[in-house]
């Protein structure tokens, strides 16, 4: 049974790293102000890390994709 559990753990690790590699990069600190419009980025949003745009600009950007 230990082998099955180990294999399951390996699968979970692979899945997590796969998801992380595909997720947007949240490395580096967030900006205090939006790089597009200069609006303050809310502290709760900054806390996520790597935020460079306000909610409005980010949603516009994501709609464009």
- Residues pairing with 33 in the sheet: 40
Q: How far is the CB of 30 from Zn ion (least distance, A)?
A: 13
Q: Which two tokens stand for residue 38?
A: 């200069």
- Numbers of helices and strands, H then E, in the chain: 3, 0
* CA dist., res. 38 & res. 35, Å (int): 6
CB closer to Zn ion, 31 vs 57: 57
Convert residues 5-44 into a mask of x (bound to Zn ion by CB under 5 A) and - (unbound): -----------------------------x-xx-x-----
Question: Applying CB under 5 A, which part among 1-9, 11-19, 20-28, 47-55 lies near Zn ion?
Answer: 47-55
HSE (side-chain half, CA atoms, 13 Å) at 20: 8
Binding site for Zn ion (CB under 5 A): 34, 36-37, 39, 54, 57
């Amino acid at each position: 049974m230990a082998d099955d559990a180990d294999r399951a753990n390996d699968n979970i690790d692979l899945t997590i790293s796969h998801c992380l590699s595909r997720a947007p990069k949240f490395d580096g600190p967030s900006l205090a102000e939006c790089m597009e419009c200069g609006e303050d980025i809310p502290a709760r949003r900054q806390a996520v890390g790597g935020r460079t745009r306000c909610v409005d600009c980010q949603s516009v950007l994501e709609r464009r994709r």
